[in-house]
Each structure stands twice: as structure tokens, then as C-alpha cells.
Amino acid sequence: MGKSKSIVLAVVALSSLMFGGCALTTATVDINYTPQTGVAAVENAKSVICNVQVSDSRNEKVKVSSKKNGFGMEMAQIVPAENVAVTFQKAIECELKARGFGLGRENSLVTIDADLVKYYNDFKVGFFAGDAVAELNMGVTIKNKKGDLLYSHQFVAEGIERNIQLMTGENAELALEKALNEGMQKMFADKTFIAALLKANN
């Protein structure tokens, strides 16, 4: 065996070891949301009671990613410990509460419907390192008590964990959390979103 061929085989073996890591075992990840800092209360928000509903329209509802081996082949599933719809509902409610909005269902003035179209992490394979890339696509509507549509928007966000050595649950989790955080930042930075909530009280 020539020296160059030995080097190639060694690199391939190392790559498989680096990126494979327990590739045949299903991983369960805890996707945690990090609340935004420096949030100020919104004037007149206290009188607006919000009912948050999150639906899951993803094509793949069981997993949020798959492990890959060193050749980029999908292996074991990566699944969330908590239903992702629940995770998103908690995140939205957390940010509403931080801004002074009330939460409730029976006495709500406004309903926020969030529909998850995509929330998935894919590992991108590089020669010496890879990236975990999570994508989020979520439609959000706001309706008042009468059912009138006050707001509609599609939010797209991305979370990337760069230069990873293992295509496993831990790195998928980091990327998914970043995508969730970015999605919430975009949603609550939208002034028309906040304005629609306040409009429900008129």
C-alpha cells in the first residue's frame, strides 16, 4: 500500500470516528429557549389577554434531525424531549409576559396562532469539520375576539453551530436553540405584531 493511500484511509477513518459518534443510537435533546434581555413593558399591554396556540404542520413530526456518519449518510434519529409545539408556545408566552401582556384562554381578547411549517437541523459535512444548520419556518396570525384577522406573517430563521466534530444530538440541539431564539427575536421585533395585539383592545 502506497504512502498516499495510507494517508487517505487514515483521514477517512478519522472522519468516520469524528463525525460518527454513536450514530446508531437515537438521541433525545432538550431544546431550551433563552428569554430576551432588556425587554421593556409595552404601554397598555396589561389589558390585552392573549391566547397562544401552536400547531405542528411539519412533514416530519417525530424527529428534529438525524445523526450522520463521516460520509454524510443519515443514521439514528434525533428527537425532542418535549413536543416542539409546546416548546414554541412556552417561548411565545414567555416573551408576551415579559412585555406585560396577559395570558389566558377563556377571557382572551386576542388569539395568536403559530403554525410550524419547518423546524429541522441538518448537518453539513466538511473535510475536517462540519456545521449544524437548523431552519425554522413559522406562520403567525392574530385574530380578535370576533375572529377578525389583525395580522399575518411568515417568519424564517436559521441557527448555525459551526466547526463541529460530532454530528450528534448535542450539536443539533445548539443549532435548533439558536433558530428558536432568532425566530422569537424576529417575531417580537416586528412592530406590526405588537400593534395588532394592542388593536384587539380597541
CATH number of residue 127's parent domain: 3.40.50.10610
| Residue 154 near residue 186, CB atoms below 8 Å | no
In a domain, 38, yes or no: no
Q: Which residues partner with 77 through β-bridges?
A: 66
In a domain, 159, yes or no: yes
In a domain, 149, yes or no: yes
In a domain, 83, yes or no: yes
In a domain, 56, yes or no: yes
In a domain, 96, yes or no: yes
The answer on pLDDT for 59 being more than 70 is yes
The Cα 171–Cα 155 span in angstroms is 23
Q: How many independent structural domains does the chain possess?
A: 1
The Cα 69–Cα 81 span in angstroms is 23
> What range does the domain containing 190 cover?
44-200
pTM (2 d.p.): 0.87
Amino acid type, 9: L
Q: What is the mean pLDDT of residues 114-119?
A: 98
pLDDT band at 23 (very low <50, low <70, confident <90, very high): confident
| Residue 101 near residue 126, CB atoms below 8 Å | no
Compute CA distances 124 → 30, 100, 161, whole Å: 22, 40, 10
In a domain, 86, yes or no: yes
Positions of E strands within 43-88: 49-56, 65-68, 74-80
The answer on pLDDT for 3 being more than 70 is no
Other CB atoms within a 10 A radius of the CB of residue 140 amount to 20
